[in-house]
Amino acid sequence: MHQTSHSIRFLYKGRYPPVLVPLTTCYPKNKHMAWYKREKKGIITPTSAKKETPEGHWYKCPKCKNVMNSRDHKQNAYTCIECNFHARIGSKEYFEVFFDKNEFTELDANMMSGDPLNFSDTKTYPTRIQQSQYKSGLKDAVRTGHGKMKGENIVLAVMDFGFIGGSMGSVVGEKISRAIDFAREKKYPLIVVSKSGGARMMEAGYSLMQMAKTSAKLALLAEAKVPYISLLTDPTTGGVSASFSMLGDFNIAEPEALIGFAGPRIIRETIGRDLPEGFQTSEYLLEHGFLDFIIDRTEMKNKLAGLIKMLK
Amino acid sequence: MLLDFEKPIAELEQKLDDMKQLAVESDANVADAIKVLEQNILKVKKETYTNLTRWQRVQLSRHQNRPYTLDYIHEMCDNFVELHGDRNIADDKAMVGGFGDVNGQTVMFIGQQKGRNTKQRQYRNFGMANPEGYRKALRLMRLAEKFDKPIVTLIDTPGAFPGIEAEERGQAEAIARNIKEMFTLKVPVICIVIGEGASGGALGIAVGDKVMMLENTWYSVISPENCSTILWRSWDYKEQAAEALKLTADDMKGFKLIDEIIPEPLGGAHANPKSTYETVKQVILKEIKALQKLSTEELVNRRIEKFSGMGEVQE
Ligand SMILES: [Zn+2]
């Protein structure tokens, strides 16, 4: 589904898929452009994408190399029918997985990034944003919304790794903060799906403070006793793992995801030796006590709806 | 070891010393010449230190003679009781803390500690804390809260330690927890960046009612070197990266991401440590006094509101 590109700069031995260095340039194009249909009352519901898995399209699993019908792969929540490999998917696909009949109301759908630092490296930040928007069909690296999951109201925020490595700048911080506020006001349980290389360098100090802002909002949410489920997916590192991702009442993960504070490359360079097999995987974090459980994407909806019902 | 921009000044100062020596040893009347030279040195210093590039400020923030956390604490406190350990697995030498008496006001001091020579640097892990360091910090913050004492954190770190054990023990979780818990502390919290403020490793003890930076420090999401490596694919662009990141005290104050800048003596904190300690001490006492006038609720609400307002988006 996702092909490698120039932005993948090294291979991490012992696990798949290759790990992206946090916060590099654009990630491979999201083949599924988001198409929206704006309805009355400001409700936005995605319609089925034009390019979406037409009959006769095939999906080749990057792990076991088996080929399967794209539609079957989609129906299996984008996990491999043969080996259970969880493909990296974005907000559009997670919304399909979580929301009943894929019906939801998106929040702050038009929020876009500013350029508070007038940042420029090999290209200007606004150029980078525009290119990312064009390639991904997204406005920034997170989408938020509310709707029903097995009949239960939830607020859902999903990060898009396809947008500048899922990096957190002001937009991600603000949208997640507002989603938390919304969950607190409505008393709807909050689910955040993290998939990020960390904070966004091009907003420097502003990005750093998004860690503080989202955590502040979560402190308020906790005080209001509204449940917060944090789902960590491949990959979740840096400023995102060191803020809202690790602050769930329930910290859960998809199988074999890369989860950590520092990226494997940085650690290897710092300590000057190879990293142990399975280091920084979901399974490793579960073993060391930082996750409540690991769950297959196909079972996610049932299990989380069941958990939420028990908390009522 | 002198920084490049310190060298011309050091040469002039050497000249001044020589001239003064000459005045003592001989009867030569050099009083006027000394005066002229002194004025010249002051002029050169002012020019140099008011026109520092961002990268030069980064260099000053890491100056090997710059005062470190325990230097401040020992110089500002009449009495200091250092406290150790996270009560779980270890005592992190890169994160220090304890109760100090500042002019009769008890303060909980917490901060990253760097070392000055090779041995000390290793002992302090270059000021890079492990998860137990952040957990130790949180334990001490809660202790301060229990006895209703204000907290002062001194930030000076090139980042949280990126190592196998650090990951194993949950570096991300430890930092995230600190950030969140600091919003709920019911006592005044003052945070001062005294050297390097690198990313989450800094923020893990930097959520406060007053966040301040000394004049020649930096505070950002990544170091210029690492930013250069990632965006330019080479270490050689660290000066451009420092410019792009806008990471100085002036920048951060301009963005309203910090509250105050604490001025340093001409030449930097290490040029006159005594006056630096005194300035910081007076700032701490003043801010504590002001914050103690607020109710617990006001304190916590304002802290949350301040950080909630940070960010720039288009809608
Ligand atoms: Zn497979």
Per the structure block, which two tokens stand in for B128?
Answer: 């890079």
Segments making up each domain of chain B, as ranges = 4-51, 57-308
- Could you report how far apart the first and last alpha carbons of chain B are, in Å? 51
The band of A167, judged by pLDDT with boundaries at 50, 70 and 90, is very high
| CATH class, A36-52+88-311 region | alpha beta
Residue of A nearest to B166 (CA): A261
Does A285 score more than 50 pLDDT?
Answer: yes
Spacing, Cα A80 to ligand 1 middle (Å):
5
A212 touching B (Cβ < 8 Å): yes
pLDDT at residue A34, rounded to an integer: 32
**B179:A243 CB<8 A:** yes
Q: Which of B206, B194, B188, B208 is nearest to B289 (CA)?
A: B188
A181 touching B (Cβ < 8 Å): no
Instruction: Supply the mean pLDDT for chain A.
Output: 86
pLDDT at residue A56, rounded to an integer: 66
Cβ atoms B66, B218 nearer than 8 A = no
Tell me how close the Cα of B220 comes to any Cα of chain A, in angstroms: 5
Query: What number is the ipTM of this complex?
Result: 0.96
Per the structure block, which two tokens stand in for A55?
Answer: 């009959």
Spacing, Cα A274 to ligand 1 middle (Å):
27
Spacing, Cα A283 to ligand 1 middle (Å):
18
Of A111, A243, A279, the CB nearest to B315: A111
- The tens digit of pLDDT for each residue in A80-98 reads 999 999 999 999 999 999 9
Q: Which residues of B touch A21 (CB under 8 A)?
A: 230
Cβ atoms A23, A198 nearer than 8 A = yes
pLDDT below 50 — which residues of chain B?
none
Q: Which residues of B touch A246 (CB under 8 A)?
A: 170, 172-173, 176-177
pLDDT at residue B30, rounded to an integer: 83
Tell me how close the Cα of A19 comes to any Cα of chain B, in angstroms: 14
Identity at A257, one-letter amino acid code: A
Q: What is the mean pLDDT of residues A25-48?
A: 35
Cβ atoms A57, A65 nearer than 8 A = no
pLDDT at residue B202, rounded to an integer: 98
Q: Locate the DSSP E strands across chain B.
A: 79-82, 95-102, 105-112, 151-157, 189-198, 210-214, 218-220, 260-262, 313-314
Spacing, Cα A64 to ligand 1 middle (Å):
4
**B314:A201 CB<8 A:** no
B10 touching A (Cβ < 8 Å): no
- The tens digit of pLDDT for each residue in B255-304 reads 999 999 999 999 999 999 999 999 999 999 999 999 999 999 999 999 99
Could you give the residue ranges of the DSSP H alpha helices within B26-130?
Answer: 31-50, 54-61, 69-76, 118-123
B199 touching A (Cβ < 8 Å): yes
Q: Locate the DSSP E strands across chain A.
A: 36-38, 44-46, 58-60, 67-69, 104-107, 112-113, 142-149, 152-159, 190-196, 228-236, 250-253, 293-294
Which CATH superfamily, name and number, covers B57-308? 2-enoyl-CoA Hydratase; Chain A, domain 1 (3.90.226.10)
Segments making up each domain of chain A, as ranges = 36-52+88-311
**A276:B164 CB<8 A:** yes
- The tens digit of pLDDT for each residue in B163-175 reads 999 999 999 999 9
**B221:A205 CB<8 A:** yes
Secondary structure of residue A293 in the 3-state scheme: strand
pLDDT at residue B1, rounded to an integer: 78
Of B176, B221, B313, the CB nearest to A247: B176
pLDDT at residue B153, rounded to an integer: 98
H/E element holding A74? helix A70-75
Q: Which residues of A touch B230 (CB under 8 A)?
A: 21-24, 201
**A206:B170 CB<8 A:** no
Does A175 score more than 70 pLDDT?
Answer: yes
Name A166's Cβ contacts closer than 8 Å, sequence gap at least 6.
Answer: A27, A141, A159, A160, A194, A195, A196, A197, A240
Tell me how close the Cα of A150 comes to any Cα of chain B, in angstroms: 30
Q: Which residues of A touch B88 (CB under 8 A)?
A: none
The secondary structure of A167-207 as a DSSP string is: -B-HHHHHHHHHHHHHHHHHT--EEEEEEESSB-GGGHHHH
Q: What is the mean pLDDT of residues A174-199?
A: 98
How far apart, in Å, are the Cα atoms of A200 and each of A45, A98, A257, B149? 28, 27, 21, 36
pLDDT at residue A43, rounded to an integer: 42
